[in-house]
Structure 1
Amino acid sequence: MSTYNEDSIRSLDWKEHIRLRPGMYIGKLGDGSAYDDGIYVLLKEVMDNSIDEFVMGAGRSIDITVNENKVSIRDYGRGIPIGSVVDVVSKINTGGKYDSKAFQKSVGLNGVGTKAVNALSTQFTVQSYRQNVTRIAQFAQGELVSDEKKDTTQRNGTAVTFYPDNSIFRNYKYRMEFVENMIWNYVFLNSGLTINFNGQKFVSENGLKDLLERNIETESMRYPIIHLRGEDIEIALTHGQQYGEEYYSFVNGQHTTQGGTHQAAFREAVVKTIREFYKKDYDASDIRASIIGAIAVKVQEPVFESQTKTKLGSQNIGPDGPSVRTFINDFLKKALDDYLHRNPDTADALQKRILQSERERKDIAGIKKLANERAKKASVHNRKLRDCKLHFSDKHERNLETTLFITEGDSASGSITKSRDVMTQAVFSLKGKPLNSYGMSKKIVYENEEFNLLQHALNIEEGLDGLRYNNIVVATDADVDGMHIRLLLLTFFLQFFPDLVKAGHVSILQTPLFRVRNKKETIYCYSEEEKQQAIKKLGAKPEITRFKGLGEISPSEFGLFIGKDMRLDPVILSKENKLSHLLEYYMGKNTPDRQKHIVNNLRVELDTEDVLTQVAG
């Protein structure tokens, strides 16, 4: 046994602790392929401080630049007090937000945010402009490098520039779609704020109403968006054509992607208010089916379930205030009831949607019962699912890593199963090409055994609250059949569980196309360009292997591609691509537009013998 004495005890300073345990401060690390990866949390932590300045009435614009691995943020608030510039970004539990009078309803309350950004950056610069004096402090991995103070004519405010440390965030890349979504949420929640991002201006006049309009196809709305505002609360809601429920929830400007007490209270209050308005005891699932809602509340001293603040745990609005549940219920009870009385057309359209959901639910009740019984039996010994030990719903520091790989065929699933991390990685094996579910009703989810088992594996039948894996990764071969299976799976998710995709949980696994090696080194290449670079690097005719399918990759090799260096392509729905049109174009009947596209882009690849024959002829 090793000796355990006083010499075994070690005390880490603040930056060492953050760098050793970054997950405690920013959640998962990642490479930028998921919206909640660490590089976006770093940006958010700095932005939250600038937003808090705006909320306090200081500064109406923020400038942001993201250029490859460099991030710059400049606000025009009051500026960090000159004497505290270094301490604020390098001393844990130092900040201005412990005084609730200065920041009544702030997001960042723990005095950790910018310190984590500082410690996890190769370079970090903070500059405060305050009353014609500026102070600039530069750090490297949390270590102070320089500190300078001088006169200035610049407007008051704070500027922060940082470079995420690529030894921690390996092969990272900022995806502008995720950054833009974050920025849109900031302006939706802060009317009057202008954010200038990479030369583009972001501003919102109608708050959460604008948020829903940006995320919903107008033609799919069953009635105009109901938009309600009160003191410390704002709500927008409508019903669409999709299956399931979709929510956007916020606390003090923070996007709580995992919901929390406020979102649960919102779902409950909508049901209660609607039942009382129509004087009908409608089933809660019929009222909420296809609902799209957004809620933003302001809470004094909010309690979140983690430093990344993705789920609200607070039970009360403030130390002396009512419970979150009572506050939201009382507001909706009056505001939504008044709105429906004043807008009878909307009230009629809402009731028709509820009655339609009721008919659909009763129509599939028998099939659903049988399917759930079959799924329960299958779960005892489900050969399709090789589960992991931890799940997304667990309160564990690794729950964000939980991943379900959806594979095609036994050989691919066998390789992944043997090389996976059994704590956080599960495998679901398809027996072949799944059904094209485009245009079908929810009934098919229960009638099709494979879809039903997948739905149960994910635990999303009643919504995303019980989702068992944070990452759903489609792992198919990089050939025509593999691409087709991807499309069929995405069609299934987008048809019946679009919120799963919109919440950023679905992605595509990149696996290497080539292995280039000599006796000293092996390089895995994901493209023709990478292959050429590897050949150039190794020289002298290295051995080149072309992987035709995932089953050809040995388990020992596969472990390299699903570990810390795993490459994922997130499935992102852009505003420009309307979901209904997208599905119709790719997965509908043989549409004229698709036929025309295929004819115009048809490319015939000839082998060498064919080319020589044609030349000779």
Structure 2
Amino acid sequence: MASQEASISTRKYDDSSIRTLSALEHIQQRPGMYIGRLGTGDHPDDGIYVLLKEVVDNSVDEFTVGAGKRIEVALADDGGVTARDYGRGIPLDSVVACVSQINTGGKFMTGADGEDRAFACSIGLNGVGLKAVNALSKSFVVISRRHGHSRKAIFAEGALLSEERGSTMDPDGTEVYFLPSERFFPGFHFEAKHIRRRMQHYAWLNSGLSLSFNGEKFFSRRGLLDLLEAKQESEPLYPPLHYRSDTLEFAFSHTSSFNESYYSFVNGQYTNDGGTHLSAFKEGILKAVNEITQKSLDADDVRNGIIGAVAIRLDSPIFESQTKNKLGNTEIRVGIVNEVRKAVVEVLYKNPELKSKLLEKVTQNETVRKQIQAVRREAREQAKKTSLKIPKLRDCKFHLCDAPARRKEEEKIKCSESVLFLTEGDSAAANMVSARDPETQAVFPLRGKPLNCYGKKKETIYKNEEFYYIMQALGVEASMDDLRYGRVVIASDADVDGFHIRNLLITFFLTYFQPLVLSEHLFILETPLFRVRNKKKTYYCFNERERDEAIAKLGKGHEITRFKGLGEISPNEFGPFIGPDMRLLPVNVDNVREIDGMLGFFMGDNTPSRRDYIMENLR
């Protein structure tokens, strides 16, 4: 111990140890600070899509100020992507600075009256976006066209290679091409479906803006009404209530479901974790219905079954991270609450039939709530008798819902990185508990196969001990706003029983907590299927292709182990598989309308059609 202390005390630390990074070097050294997760492109929030978003956001900002109504995005043959708008174009003398010098851009200038700015209500106000794209790209090309003149700059890994000026007959606007660097995104690939989804969001939020991706057109005339029509899983009970002003747009209706589903946006940015604007929107609806009925109704009675969308435009948005998933501006809450309340009250007074159907749904929600109150009380009384609040849960220190209360940025990051692993059995849980990071990773072991809850009412949660404890661990009984973990990860074995458990858990979440899935918090853990090793080297392989490649590398004298269950992987080996580079498959819903039919087909009563499907697809 003494020798170790001496080593530390004599370790070199002088002026030569201090280094000042350039802005681009800092982005390259700490990319997570600027774009969040890196990834390979499998998940819609992976870094390569954040880079594309930074480029397209600038083009959308041009449309917002009335310059340019068309944006074209296309994948290149080399794996890169090109985005072209028809706005004003970057001022030619500033092209290189705007894409390479941090804190440089046209979104800082404000006149004495607060209105003299080249952009208003922009998403990117920090002068970072295009610089991050440039710094994290193997190849980056920007072309600006203005009034018959153009300027082109070519970069590699953030370093300027060449630039040229010229004349052009092409329309004004900015064109950006970038190829993400394998240094930061090894094995990356763009998934067309993730880009299409982003293009559709841009269209819904910017009525009149025409976008195209690889020739496919995206356009919306009705804005959020078109979004609700595409997202609702069943027919609305009444025509959606829609309101639009210069800074606020919202739409909502009730469906026969008891799930709440919301889609919230700030300056065109999808905030999948909501924030101030979403909570204010929900509060405004409650206050309006209370005013109409002259009662103090339970919030759940008013909101259960709502599908809604809210979009705001804000001069200086404050997000809880660079990836902009949650809005933090508290000063806007009162204004949004009052504007929503006033608008909803006015519509309900003018539309007696709509008001009648809305209040009928509220009454139905109240009846259902009272029916399960007794069951809920019984479940809570049973929970009090246990020695721990949530038996078998090995919790972590930081939780997603704690983030607003945390002051330090590194603590907020840890809150957003919190994970709950739902594991299959105690042996797998024991390995995870030994290998986990106790600050951000919690573990909850399942006891065998969960109940198939398809078609069952919500009181099932309170009668089923395991479902009840999962709900309590997640903290979502009252609201998704209280979600305690940034990611909920199903960690089941790679065998038939494991896949069945996976399907049963997905059914549970889609049935009772659908917003958790729609807001992209549910994942499946991938763990290695094979270990291939000799006396000198060990490879962990996630599929047959990786196994065959490992065999080829090791040659003769190797051994192969096939892992069936997570409990077969020793705690010493397990750490990397749930570390920063763990492989997660997101559980996504491409079409909300198809959820019930899909669950009915796969998880409902046995039917001839399902039997025929299985027989046709057996291998």
Fold match (TM-score > 0.5): yes
Which residue matches 2:59?
A: 50
CA–CA distance in structure 1, aligned partners of residues 153 and 240 of structure 2: 47
What amino acid maps onto 1:89 in structure 2? Answer: V
Alignment partner of 1:370 is 2:378: yes
Q: Tell me if 1:457 matches 2:473.
A: yes
Partner residue in 1 for 2:462: 446
Letter in 1 for 2:277: H
Q: Deviations over 1:37-83 (max 9, x none)?
A: 32222111111101001111111111112358412211111111111
- Choose which of 510, 523, 540 in structure 2 pairs with 1:494: 510
SS, match of residue 444 in structure 2: strand
Partners of 2:272 and 2:520 within 8 A in 1: no
Shift of 1:25: 1.6
Secondary structure, aligned partner of 1:520 = coil
Q: How far off its partner does 1:352 sit? A: 1.4
CA contact (8 A) 2:278 2:310 kept: yes
- Asked whether the equivalents of residues 384 and 430 of structure 1 are also in contact (C-alpha less than 8 Å), the reply is no
Q: Structure 2 matches for 1:331-342, cutoff 5 A?
A: 331-342=339-350
Contact 1:28 1:37 in 2 (8 A): yes
Amino acid at match of 2:274: G
Report the TM-score, using the length of structure 2 for normalisation: 0.92
Query: 1:5 and 1:205 mapped to 2: Cα distance?
Result: 63
For residues 503 and 173 of structure 1, what CA distance do their matches in structure 2 show? 23
Q: Distance in 1 between matches of 2:70 and 2:36?
A: 29
2:600 counterpart of 1:584: yes
Say which of 230, 241, 244 aligns to 1:226.
241
Q: For 1:274-303, what per-residue CA distance to the aligned partner results, in whole angstroms no more than 9, with x for missing partners?
A: 111122322112101121111111122223
Q: Does 1:484 align with 2:494?
A: no
> Which of 164, 173, 178 is matched with 1:148 structurally?
164
Q: 8 Å contact 2:396–2:440 — kept in the other structure?
A: yes
Select the residue among 306, 313, 316 that pairs with 1:301: 316
Q: Secondary structure at the match of 1:72?
A: strand
Gaps of 5+ in 1: 317-323, 604-617
Task: Name the residue aligned to 2:414.
Answer: 398
Counterpart CA distance in 1 for 2:611 and 2:547 is 34
**Is contact 1:124-1:161 (8 Å) kept?**
yes
Correspondence for 2:27: 18
The residue number in structure 2 matching 1:607 is none
CA distance in structure 2 between the partners assigned to 1:273 and 1:159 by the alignment: 46
Aligned pairs for 1:20-99 within 5 A: 20-66=29-75, 69-99=79-109
Gap regions ≥5 residues in structure 2: 1-8, 111-116, 404-411
Aligned AA for 1:362? K
AA of the residue aligned to 1:501: V
Structure 1 CA distance, aligned partners of 2:382 and 2:86? 60
Matches within 5 A, 1:225-244: 225-244=240-259
* Residue of structure 2 in register with 1:609 after alignment: none
1:133 to 149, 160, 178: 149
Residue 613 of structure 2 is aligned to residue 597 of structure 1: yes
- 1:299 alignment partner, SS class: coil
The equivalent position to 2:226 in structure 1, one of 210, 213, 225, is: 210
| 1:389 is aligned to 2:397 | yes
Aligned equivalents of 2:120 and 2:85: distance in 1? 20
Matched, 1:358 2:374: no
Residue 375 (structure 1) shift: 4.1
Which whole-Å deviations, capped at 9, do the CAs of 1:152-208 have from their partners, x for residues lacking one?
Answer: 222211111222233323443433333222221111010111111122111111100
C-alpha distance in structure 2 between counterparts of 1:306 and 1:526, whole Å: 32
> Structure 2: how far apart are the matches of 1:244 and 1:601?
33
Inter-partner Cα distance in structure 2 for 1:296 and 1:244:
21
> Is residue 244–residue 462 contact of structure 1 (8 Å, CA) maintained in 2?
no
Any conservation in 2 of the 1:514–1:545 contact (CA below 8 Å)? yes
Give distance in 1, aligned partners of 2:355 and 2:395: 45
Deviates more, 1:99-108 or 1:432-441: 99-108
1-side partners of 2:486 and 2:157: how far apart? 29
Moved segments of 4+, more than 6 Å = none
Report if aligned partners of 2:234, 2:593 keep a CA contact under 8 Å in 1.
no
Are the counterparts in 2 of residues 244 and 463 from structure 1 also a CA contact under 8 Å? no
Moved more, 562-571 or 290-299: 562-571
Q: Quote the residue 1:473 is aligned against.
A: 489
Secondary structure of the corresponding residue to residue 31 of structure 1: coil
Q: In the alignment, what sits opposite 1:327?
A: 335
Q: Give, as a single letter, the amino acid of the residue that structure 1 aligns with 2:31.
A: P
Q: Distance in 2 between matches of 1:163 and 1:403?
A: 31
Cα distance, 1:98 vs structure 2: 0.9
CA distance in 2: counterparts of 1:310 and 1:106, whole angstroms: 16
Match of 2:409 in 1: none
Deviations 1:570-611 (A, max 9, x none): 1111128601101111111112321222343445xxxxxxxx
Tell me whether 1:245 sits opposite 2:260 in the alignment.
Answer: yes
Contact 2:70 2:210 (C-alpha < 8 Å) held by counterparts: yes
Cα pair 1:242 1:496 within 8 Å, conserved = no
CA contact (8 A) 1:375 1:452 kept: no
Partner of 1:615: none
Q: Does 1:291 align with 2:298?
A: no
1:379 to 1:254, Cα distance in 2 relative to 1, 3 A: farther
- Shift of residue 558, structure 1, vs aligned partner: 1.8
Going from structure 1 to structure 2, the CA distance change for 1:133 and 1:376 (only over 3 Å counts) comes to farther
After alignment, is 261-270 or 243-252 more displaced?
243-252
Q: Name whichever of 508-517 and 492-501 sits farther off.
A: 508-517
Q: Is the 8 A contact 2:273 2:519 kept in 1?
A: no
Residue in structure 2 matched with residue 321 of structure 1 by the alignment: none
CA distance in 2, matches of 1:207, 1:153: 34
Q: Once the 2 structures are TM-superposed, how far is the Cα of residue 256 of structure 1 from its aligned partner? A: 1.9
**Which residue number in structure 1 is paired with residue 285 of structure 2?**
270
Question: Which stretch of structure 1 is more off in the superposition, 163-172 or 113-122?
Answer: 163-172
Residues 488-509 of structure 1: per-residue CA shift (max 9 Å, x gap)? 1001000000011111111111
1:558 aligns with 2:567: no
Matches for 1:497-508 after TM superposition, within 5 Å: 497-508=513-524
Task: Name the amino acid aligned to 1:257.
Answer: N
Give deviations 1:333-392, integer Å, cap 9, x for gaps. Answer: 332223223333322221111111111111111221232344466583644211122222
DSSP-derived class of the 1:489 partner: helix
Aligned pairs, number: 595
Distance 1:161 1:373, change over 3 A: farther
SS in 1 for 2:174: strand
Alpha-carbon offset, residue 111 of structure 1: 0.7
Q: Is this contact kept in 1: 2:436–2:578, CA < 8 A?
A: yes
| Aligned partners of 1:63 and 1:195 also within 8 Å | yes
Q: d(CA) in 2 for partners of 1:377 and 1:105?
A: 53
Q: Secondary structure at the match of 1:329?
A: helix
Judged with a 3 Å threshold, the aligned counterparts in structure 2 of structure 1 residues 19 and 549 are, in CA distance, closer, same or farther, namely same
Would you say the 8 A contact 2:233–2:592 is kept in 1? no
| Residues 4 and 437 of structure 1, relative CA distance in 2, 3 Å threshold | same
1:274 alignment partner, SS class: helix
Contact 1:23 1:397 in 2 (8 A): no
Counterpart CA distance in 2 for 1:438 and 1:315 is 39
Greater shift in the superposed pair: 512-521 or 402-411: 512-521
Per-residue Cα deviation, 1:309-329 (whole angstroms, up to 9, x for no partner): 22222244xxxxxxx234323
Deviating more after overlay: 375-384 vs 210-219: 375-384
Q: Distance in 2 between matches of 1:577 and 1:217?
A: 4
Distance 1:13 1:187 in 2: 37
**Residues 98-142 of structure 1 deviation map (CA, whole Å, 9 limit, x = unaligned):** 124211211111111111121122222211122222222122222
Counterpart contact for 1:28–1:400, Cα < 8 Å: no
Name the % identity: 51
CA distance in 2: counterparts of 1:425 and 1:492, whole angstroms? 22
User: What is the CA deviation profile of residues 545-572 of structure 1, one whole-angstrom value per residue up to 9, with x for unaligned ones?
Assistant: 2112111111222222222332222111
Matches within 5 A, 1:126-205: 126-205=142-221
CA drift at 1:401: 2.2
